[in-house]
Structure 1
Amino acid sequence: MAEPRIDYAAVFRALPGMVALLTPELVYVDANDDFLRLAGRSREQLLNRYIFDVFPENPNDPAAAGMQETKESMLRAAATGERDTMALLRYDIEDPEHPGHWDEHYWSPVNAPVHGPDGKVSLIVHRVEEVTELIRAFGGPDGDRRARVLEAELYTRARELKEVNERLRQAHAREREVALALQAAMLPDPRPLEHHKAAVRYRPAIGALNVCGDWYDLVELPGKSLAVAVGDVVGHGLAAACAMGQLRSALSAATRVADGPAQALEALDMYARSVDGAESTTAATTFIDWEDHSITYSCAGHPPPALLHPDGSVVFLDGATDPPLAARPRFAPRPQARTEFAEGAVLVLYTDGLVERRTEDIDAGLSRLAASLAAHCHAAPEELADALLADLLPRPGNTDDTALIVLRL
């Protein structure tokens, strides 16, 4: 007997209760029929709009806190990758047919993350239990007494939930502090590189636990050569930071004895198979030969390094791209490619937090990077690094870590 084909879009629309899907930036991407009906909004009024543009706080209620509490809960779910259950809250909704008239609603929301193939939170499921009628039902005979009992019970439960959430927040904050301290210890400022100037930047993601496993490294090699690398461990928190430390150290050691970047990544690939949490780590490494003005490079599932020529043109070094570390079922040799550079060119290595956005193709982010590099092509490395972060990172803060190296060649 053939398995029935399930129309999951139809299932979602028919789900009982209010359910909506939002991006980690809190923009609606879908909502089921009950959500539209009970919220009094059409699909067109919701989709591709910021949640609090659709449902602002009641300006006539100075004590209203539903918007802030809902926003904090959703951002916690996006940052921690864990479900966040809210206490019962009042959230008034403006009648779209009668502007200025606000209907009283009581909701019990749950915000749950949906993880994408890369392990990062790609969507927030916002499920709401509409309990307005239940609250109003206590307005009949003996309504005042029963309402007071219910109010006391709800207050007690809300206070308990708030205390639990506060303890979780403090635990998450401590873990973030430890992870950031580990990353700071593993990512020191580079030592002087004779006549070549380098700038490095690390920007942790917003959110209590969203610190990730990004790293950078610069290694001086025998003969007039330099190796520059960046990498990104999948996942968040202390575990990702610990895996990052191990992989960075291993690549730094392998680079010193390898014949080239491909061989260094091959050694790192074999090592990553024995490190918990290292699967699917991405990395890019470059060997710079100052005498013949050449860059040899290899990428393991990582965004390509950018080479800014003195005339302001930009090329991406994408001629030697291979799958992430430990992603293949068995070991295989990795490719490498070589390109020449003119004196005064700039090499830029970065992690995906600089260019990737969940709502667009990565080519859009790479185009923004190329445009920013061209616009600031004559800036010194320190100024150029700051300009790239200012131009490319989202204003409210990035939802993924960002590591960046800018090296004047």
Structure 2
Amino acid sequence: MADAGIDYAAVFRTLPSMVALLTPQLVYADANEEFLHMSGRTREQLIGRYLFDVFPDNPNDATATGMRDLAASLLRVAATGERDAMALQRYDVESVEQPGQWEERFWSPINAPVHGPDGKVVLLVHRVEDVTELIRARGGPSGSWARVLEAELYTRARELQEVNERLRQSHAREREVALALQKAMLPAPRQLGHHRAAVRYRPAVGSLNVCGDWYDMVDLVGGGNRIGVAVGDVVGHGLEAAGVMGQLRSALTAASRVADGPAQALDVLGRYAHVVDGAESATAVTTFIDFDHHTLTYSSAGHPPPALVHADGRVEFLDQATDPPLDAHPDPIPRPQADTTFTDGAAVVLYTDGLIERRGEDIDTGLDRLATSLVRHKDADPETLADAVLHELLPPGGATDDTALIIVRL
């Protein structure tokens, strides 16, 4: 097929269904001939213009919400990177030749994202099936049937929209409660001691996929200037994930205070996770930092590697002691650990996968993106560095997975 020389632009123009391309800001970038024909718009009246400038909702009819519903769907696709099939929608389309005159249309839309090389949504595909003639057929013996069908379909569409709205409100309430619980269980910045550190938590956008990520920083016993720094991620979402997260974080905090090293702390946590419902496949990484001897010892249970930013700008990913996630083995086995050294002015960065992973993208791409950002801002204080990393790595509309981040200046 690669040798066939297919003219995809020509294919797009002649598709039998209405198809338009919009930017994530809801500006029309292109449209095929069928879309122009069925919408009654020329290319000049469409391309480069904002959705509501071309197709506003009918100001004379409070029930005309088709365009607002469409905009909500498109913005949801732009934020989540996932396709959205809408229920049958009624649209009032204003006549170009007779401004102020509105024609009732019935369209069934599907919206899908187009991802760029960096995994971000760069375009929105808006495909429409026009079923107006089917629903509003006039004349002949089919007229009464068409009116019944119109009423039935429109009623079902409205009922579906009401159900979706109730579900959305229910999800929003659970999300709010879960986030409040998450905030209550995570340590506040003022609890992180005298070390120069910054912590951030960013919930997922447009979904309940939140509250499974956590971070922690604890003073270690046994003498010396030592701390333990950890992050983790619980599979799941909502209140259940927040509850499991709190249990695992507390257990690792307690284990770290008395463990000989991070591997032993994760051994204890793995055994505890084995009896906690919902802890299956949870991941965690913990580091023990000895400021007196300038050493950092670490161990990972299936978690993305911490990044050590050396004072000279070199970024070292701590990936030499990685094991399967917590509770991955029926009988827990001792986990590995490794150590490295640092000099004054270095920084260690721990994070969860929402920071680096993108749909359809290799994880190494995300790690490279993180390393580039850390080098660019290596001399910044932890608070500034944390803000810069989130700004440069998270999508403009937010990620579809929650993100925890902790940075400690060494």
Name the TM-score, length of structure 2 as normaliser.
0.74
Residue matched to 2:311: 310
Residue 190 of structure 1 deviates from its aligned partner by: 3.4
- Provide closer, same or farther for how the CA distance between residues 62 and 146 of structure 1 changes in structure 2, counting only shifts above 3 A: farther
CA contact (8 A) 1:76 1:84 kept: no
Q: Which residue of 2 aligns with 1:182?
A: 181
Q: Determine the structure 2 residue equivalent to 1:391.
A: 392
Shift of 1:392: 0.8
1:119-134 pair list within 5 angstroms: 131-134=131-134
- CA–CA separation in structure 2 for the residues paired with 1:61 and 1:274: 56
Where does structure 1 lack aligned partners over 5 or more consecutive residues? 1-32, 93-102, 113-125
Match of residue 284 from structure 1: 285
Letter paired with 1:287: F
Alignment of 1:187-226 (within 5 A): 187-191=186-190, 195-222=194-221, 223=223, 224-226=225-227
How much has 1:196 moved relative to structure 2?
2.2
Query: Where do residues 97-116 of structure 1 align in structure 2 (5 Å cutoff)?
Result: 106-108=106-108
Partner of 2:140: 141
Query: CA 1:264–1:390 in 2, change beyond 3 Å: closer, same or farther?
Result: same
Partner residue, 1:255: 256
Letter in 2 for 1:207: G
Question: Does structure 1 residue 172 correspond to structure 2 residue 150?
Answer: no
**Cross-structure match for 1:336:** 337
Cα-Cα RMSD: 3.8
C-alpha displacement at 1:212, in angstroms? 3.4
Are the equivalent residues in 2 in contact too, given 1:201–1:405 (CA < 8 A)? yes
Instruction: Give 2:160's aligned residue.
Output: 161
Contact 1:76 1:208 in 2 (8 A): no
1:71-86 pair list within 5 angstroms: 72-73=72-73, 86=87
Q: Which residue of 2 aligns with 1:407?
A: 408
> 1:73 touches 1:86 (CA, 8 Å); kept in 2?
no
Contact 1:75 1:207 in 2 (8 A): no
Name the residue aligned to 1:274. Answer: 275
Task: String of CA shifts for 1:4-33, please: whole Å, max 9, x gaps.
Answer: xxxxxxxxxxxxxxxxxxxxxxxxxxxxx9
* Contact 2:135 2:150 survives alignment (8 Å): no
Q: Give 1:39's aligned residue.
A: 17
Query: After alignment, is 321-330 or 49-58 more displaced?
Result: 49-58
Contact in 1 for aligned 2:57/2:68 (Cα 8 Å)? no
The corresponding residue for 2:245 is: 244
The SS at the match of 1:139 is: coil
1:62 to 56, 61, 71: 56
Task: Write out per-residue CA displacement over residues 153-206 of structure 1, whole angstroms, 9 at most, x where no aligned residue.
Answer: 333323322221221111101100110011000113234666521110000011
TM-aligned CA distance change 1:75 to 1:262, over 3 Å: farther
Question: In 1, are the aligned partners of 2:280 and 2:327 still within 8 Å (CA)?
Answer: yes
Alignment-derived partner of residue 379 in structure 1: 380
Residue identity in the other structure for 1:352: D
Q: Aligned partners of 2:398, 2:374: CA distance in 1, in Å?
A: 21
Distance, in Å, in 1 between the alignment partners of 2:372 and 2:351 is: 15
Q: 1:282: Cα distance to partner?
A: 1.0
Tell me, in whole angstroms, the C-alpha distance in 1 between the residues paired with 2:334 and 2:84.
41
SS of equivalent to 1:182: helix
Give the match for residue 24 of structure 1. none
Distance 1:330 1:111 in 2: 47
Could you say what secondary structure the match of 2:140 adopts?
coil
Q: How far is the alpha carbon of 1:250 from its aligned partner?
A: 1.1
Give how far 1:343 is off: 1.1
Going from structure 1 to structure 2, the CA distance change for 1:192 and 1:181 (only over 3 Å counts) comes to closer
- Structure 1 Cα separation of the partners of residues 163 and 169 of structure 2: 10
- Aligned to 1:303, the other structure's residue is in SS state coil
Question: For the structure 1 residues 91 and 310, does the alpha-carbon distance in structure 2 shift closer, same or farther, using more than 3 Å as the test?
Answer: farther
- Relative to structure 1, the CA distance from residue 277 to residue 38 in structure 2 (aligned partners, 3 Å threshold; closer, same or farther) is farther
**In the comparison of the two structures, how many residue pairs are matched?**
353
Give the direction of change, closer, same or farther, for the CA distance of 1:176–1:328 in structure 2 (3 Å limit).
same
The Cα of 1:148 is off from its aligned counterpart by 4.5
- Alpha-carbon contact 2:309-2:316 (below 8 Å) kept: yes
**Cα shift at 1:53:** 4.8
SS in 2 for 1:404: strand
* AA matched with 1:364: T
SS of corresponding position for 1:357: coil
Q: Name the CA distance, whole Å, in 2 between partners of 1:50 and 1:61.
A: 15
Aligned CA distance change for structure 1 residues 284 and 49 (closer, same or farther; 3 Å): same
Alpha-carbon distance between aligned partners in 2 of 1:371 and 1:135, rounded to the nearest angstrom: 56
The two structures have a TM-score, normalised by structure 1, of 0.75
